[in-house]
Amino acid sequence: MTTSRTTLLIADIGGYTEYMGSHRMTLAHAEVNTARMLDSVIDAARGFDLVEIEGDAAFLSRRAGDRDADAVLAEVLQAAAQMHRAFHREREYVVANLCPCGGCRQARALTLKFVAHVGDVATQSIRGRSKLVGIDVILAHRLLKNDVTIPEYVLITDDLYSEVAGSRPEGVQELTQEVEGIGQVLTHIVDVGELDQGSDPGRPTLATRLSSTFSAIGRGLPYMIGARGMRVQR
């Protein structure tokens, strides 16, 4: 099994546990709304390949090859900013619909955070499905549990950050974390909101609100009647 130098990027929706309720309408629309937001996030990750949807997170990768750390970090930060912008635009459409259920009304509390790492990764095929494996994949996922206090951020490992020779984002915070089974890991935290300087999507029109309402109702109906099962979230 050969390995290759690969950039790993995980986009994780925060606040989902609190967002979920017990009413079936809420569960159906929470499922639909989360799927819409993840779809938008993935579409915005230009240059990265989707490895897997992991509950309320998207795991993406890109071959780093022999490119220098400056180029790799720039790609990560640009992708994170684009994904953050797409997430918030879609979240505004969800919140703007006219459905009164908690799955729609409370979507504004959802956030988006990222973990970025670069390391040696192997591809394993199991029953026709390709999967990325290796200690670096494990590290990236375990860093989702951390002590970062900023609601929306990009957590960058020192493996990716320390080799950067050019300009670095402003306001970077260092944080050493104890990672289960690995030990202490130095990370660098960037407020993703500071990276995303995209234009304000503006207030959704009535037509957009009605369209979003009908979309939530139509896409949520199969879950409500049991024709499709709910995903089990982390």
What is the model's pLDDT at position 227? 47
What is the model's pLDDT at position 217? 52
Q: What pTM was computed for the model?
A: 0.83
The correct CATH number of 3-224 out of 1.20.210.10, 3.30.70.1230, 3.90.950.20, 3.30.565.10 is 3.30.70.1230
What is the model's pLDDT at position 212? 56
What is the model's pLDDT at position 93? 82
What is the model's pLDDT at position 55? 84
C-alpha span between 162 and 191 (Å, rounded): 18
DSSP 152: S
Question: Are the beta carbons of 59 and 130 closer than 8 angstroms?
Answer: no
C-alpha span between 116 and 109 (Å, rounded): 23
Radius of gyration of the chain measured on its C-alpha atoms: 19
Per-residue pLDDT of the chain (234 residues; tens, 9 = 90+): 678 999 999 999 998 767 665 445 567 777 888 888 999 999 999 999 999 999 889 999 999 988 899 999 999 999 999 999 999 988 888 887 777 777 777 788 899 999 999 999 999 887 777 889 999 999 999 999 999 999 999 999 999 999 998 888 889 999 999 999 999 999 999 999 998 765 555 566 655 555 555 555 555 445 444 545 444 333
C-alpha span between 44 and 48 (Å, rounded): 9
Question: Are the beta carbons of 23 and 214 closer than 8 angstroms?
Answer: no
Question: Are the beta carbons of 142 and 157 closer than 8 angstroms?
Answer: no
Tell me the one-letter amino acid at 70: D
Instruction: Return the number of other C-beta atoms located less than 10 Å from residue 91's C-beta.
Output: 21
Q: What are the boundaries of each domain within the chain?
A: 3-224
- Find residue 46's DSSP bridge partners: none
What is the model's pLDDT at position 25? 55
Question: Are the beta carbons of 38 and 58 closer than 8 angstroms?
Answer: yes
What is the model's pLDDT at position 20? 61
